[in-house]
Structure 1
Amino acid sequence: MSLTGTECDLNSDQGNKDPLSFLQEIVEATSSFKDRYFETHSIEDAINKSKDINDLIKKNLEIFNKHEQLGLSTNKACYHFLKGKLLNICSTYSKEAELLLSKAIKLDPKLVDAWNELGECYCKNEDLIKAKSCFEGALKEKRNKIALRNLSILIRLDCSSTREKKLENIEKGLAFAKEAIQLDPYDGLSWAVLGNAYLSHFFGVQQHPNTLKQCLSAYSQAEKDVVAKSTSDLHYNKGITFKYQEDYLLALQSFNEASLYDPTWEYPKNKAKELLRYLNEIQDLVNSKGKFKPKKLQQILQSIDSKQLGPYMGGSYTSSNGEKAKLTEIPYESMKPGLNDEKVILGKVICSVRNEDIVPFTFCTVDKAGQVIVTTVFNLADGKGVIIGDSVAIPEPFVTDVDFSYRENKFKFRMVRVETPVIMVVNSKKLGRNLQAGVQMSISRKFD
């Protein structure tokens, strides 16, 4: 669609067509131009997208102004709504759009689309309380996907005073997103919001890998819709999810794609830089074995003793509920990628890794043979962790072999992911629940 694709005149081109139907077609065409911009433009044109949209809005406003009297005489509420919606297509807040949409609702309180547009207008002005009220107003008139997915976002942004209320809001946000999908299973924007709701659940309720899989499944559904696929925030949120799933190459590629769709948005670029700093520091510490001098490192290796397995020593472990698990100690090099059933590893902490995000807590350990692994711990209480010299035993370690290149960076190291600190034995003692973050965990009872 060209910028002049909707530039026409009611009198010359539309004959006796209802003026509001004509104006509605203009608004829908303008909205489609924005949503499907990359169907007619290359990704290199992304830098011009905002200007092209604003130019088209400006051209079409002239048509609205030209036919204002005719539109108002036909249906004031509808005319104000359509003009307000046209102005609201712009990515930035418009005071005029707010006034027009407010007028439309006063004239016709049952105009569901006007409630939703006004809510989105308030969101752009960061007036989230009024926005929430608008979407709730839309739902009172009719259950609809736009109000539901926006309420999913807003209720999860609510800074509640208590943890219980925060958890309740996260669950409500997830429920709203699921209902939006039920109303229209083919709407990519609703799928994207569902993915974000699962991501909120991961951070706020339970840092479980299955939740990340649910995120990515929702994002995959969203990408089937060209409108959702061309939004930079979808790729940014995918990048965040891949990062915590420890699929670092996919995370970096997703951040890059987000930047391509919106070159003016700094968040994806900054996140990519942060992740590269994190990975490069890991690689440096693995290569240098924590930057220890050979003599000091040798002393650490000699201090590693199977007695430090504590309750995991002796080939088996009995949990607090009486469940017995077989455990065989193996060196780091004997671990296989994925879950290592009925195995336990032991090493000593040689360094921690700076991470600009709180999650996960990251450190490196070395075993008797001098092999170094990176350990990432999730669901760890704030301010808790291990220190250099601590012995750490991990039962049934889940292993990922990181091995990829990105631009001028090369990464190759072995990682062990720990979903909850309570399964670790540190300095011969099993960690207590006071080291676990205050979230509801779904973990195996085997090592409880």
Structure 2
Amino acid sequence: MSAIIDDKVVAGAKSSNTVKKDPIVALTERVRALYLFRDRYFETHSIDEAIKKNIDVEKEMKDTLSKFDECKGYEIDGSRAKYYYLKGRALNVVDRFIPQAEELLSKAVKLEPKLIEAWNELGECYWKNDDIKQAKNCFVGALQHDRNKASLRNLSMVLRQEQTSSFEERIKNIQQGVEYAKEAVSLDTTDGISWAILGNAYLSSFFTVAQSPSTLRSCMSAYMQAEKDIIARSNPDLFYNKAVALKYQEEYNLALQSFENAMALDPLWETPRNKRDELLKYLKDIQNSINNNGYVKPKRLYQLIRALDVKHLGPYKDGAYTYGGKSIKLDLIPLQELTLGLNMEKVVFGKVVCWIQDSDCVPFAFCLVDEQKTCVVVTVYNLAKGRGVTVGDSVGIPEPFVIHQKFSYMNNDFDYKSIRVETPIVLVVNGRKLGREQQASANLHTFKKTD
């Protein structure tokens, strides 16, 4: 139905003499039921029916739209804005951009500029059409009338996608996005969608501002809160983004499971499956590289190990290093003597035998072999683009943090230890500490479906 026909429907609504029920109330209830059908789909359908969800929602949308035609005999002339808003919202229930929804919602806000719900819906319309600037204007405009959770969390997402003229401006947007998401949560701490968007804001901060473990912990905490809400946990985006966060926490088994949850909730969305397969390949490459000492031939491995010289520990060779003005003792130990977690006052030393490519380029991973021929993988975060180590480099790592991966997935057994390094500037390579020019943040390629 065109916008012109809608005008005629509204204008012709004066002719009825009997009103059994306020049509705007009836339409409001019908549109609310439409969204409940979409958001709580898995309360009435099994996960095996997920592939039908989009088709079922489309059908429900069409049934809802037919109810608007039934209002021809009712007096709704004084509620034109609400009528246009409700019909625009009904059309907006699907993921794709529908031009008529934009037309209706634009008319609604012109008729009633303080109708915040219409501004938010119109902003989402523009967003679906990749018009980030107009979407932002809608959400900012709505907030001028009322500090509401929908505008705040939508603005948080828009700021993360807005094109900026400098990296500094992008960081400012990311940080402001976190604050908007926090405010949205504070307005309703039971809303899982707001919690999920706060988690996404923290995840963007991890990739753009600093790859900090505390940021990832805040991210995971927000996602855990989101999962308490049936609507949020029915959204595949939540589990996809959670999987991304789990990957960078090196909780690989849980990450793979979370990707699977996203795949189950939306079988037609290919990204979770692709990312799951990429992660699985990365883990298999690590396991195989460790099992085969980086595929270095025995003679070459012997030469590399013989070339190890304690002087290549550089500032760590004297059994201590200075941090924050204090001298900290360091004992050189073999890789096999490392314990899980933080190994305080210890340093390890070995040769790089290979590096492992990850599709997201974070972390930078390489295999390290010491004099005892023990091989471990080292994962380095906050490494500048184009930086790293090469095969044959001698690398010293003070107070290494050790993780043990031991699990099975899709007939693949993983059992290896890794050393997680949060910043490259603690590493000593060939006798020299890496400089601050080696440190940088990484950009998240995308974790967008709706965000």
Shared topology, TM-score over 0.5? Answer: yes
Aligned ranges 1:75-90 → 2 under 5 Å: 75-90=79-94
Aligned 1:202-241 pairs, distance under 5 A: 202-241=206-245
- Is 1:66 aligned to 2:63, yes or no? no
For 2:189, the equivalent position in structure 1 comes to: 185
Q: What corresponds to 2:334 in structure 1?
A: 331
CA distance in 1, matches of 2:209, 2:416: 30
Asked whether 1:410 is paired with 2:413, we answer yes
1:77-97 CA distance string (max 9 Å, x none): 111111111111122111111
Which secondary structure state, in structure 1, belongs to the residue aligned with residue 74 of structure 2?
A: helix
Q: Secondary structure at the match of 2:173?
A: helix
* Separation in 2, partners of 1:71, 1:57: 24
- Other-structure match for 1:398: 401
Cα-Cα RMSD: 1.3
2:379 alignment partner in structure 1: 376
Taking only the aligned residue pairs, the percentage that are identical comes to: 52
What is the CA–CA distance in structure 2 between the aligned matches of 1:208 and 1:59, rounded to whole Å? 49
C-alpha distance in 2 between matches for 1:236 and 1:68: 44
Q: 1:348 aligns to what SS in structure 2?
A: strand
Tell me the CA shift for residue 313 of structure 1.
1.4
Partner SS, residue 57 of structure 1: helix
* C-alpha distance after superposition, 1:70-123 (max 9, x if no partner): 264241111111111111112211111111111111111110000001111111
Amino acid at match of 2:319: G
User: Which of 30, 40, 53 is residue 49 of structure 1 equivalent to?
Assistant: 53
Distance change in 2, residues 1:250/1:316 (3 Å): same
Spell out the pairing of 1:27-426 with structure 2 (5 A cutoff): 27-68=31-72, 70=74, 72-319=76-323, 321-426=324-429
Structure 2: which amino acid aligns with 1:412?
Answer: D
What is the number of equivalent residue pairs in this alignment? 425
The Cα of 1:438 is off from its aligned counterpart by 5.9
Q: Is the 8 A contact 1:71 1:79 kept in 2?
A: no
Between 1:321-330 and 1:245-254, the stretch displaced more is 321-330
**Quick one: which amino acid aligns to residue 282 of structure 2?**
Y
Cα distance in 2, alignment partners of residues 127 and 165 from structure 1 = 19
- Alignment partner, residue 7 of structure 1: none
Distance 1:363 1:161 in 2: 35
Aligned to 1:392, the other structure's residue is in SS state strand
Structure 2: distance between partners of 1:136 and 1:69: 37
Structure 1 gaps, min length 5: 1-13, 440-448
Q: CA deviation at 1:341?
A: 0.5
Runs of 4+ aligned structure 1 residues displaced above 4 Å come to: none
- Does the 8 A contact of 2:120 with 2:151 survive in 1? yes
Alignment-derived partner of residue 20 in structure 1: 24
Asked whether the equivalents of residues 210 and 441 of structure 2 are also in contact (C-alpha less than 8 Å), the reply is: no
C-alpha distance in 1 between matches for 2:50 and 2:81: 35
- Aligned-partner SS, 2:382: coil
Match of residue 449 from structure 2: none
Compute the TM-score of the two structures, normalised by the length of structure 1: 0.93
Give 3-state SS (helix, strand or coil) of 1:139's partner. Answer: helix
Q: In 2, distance between residues paired with 1:90 and 1:255?
A: 23
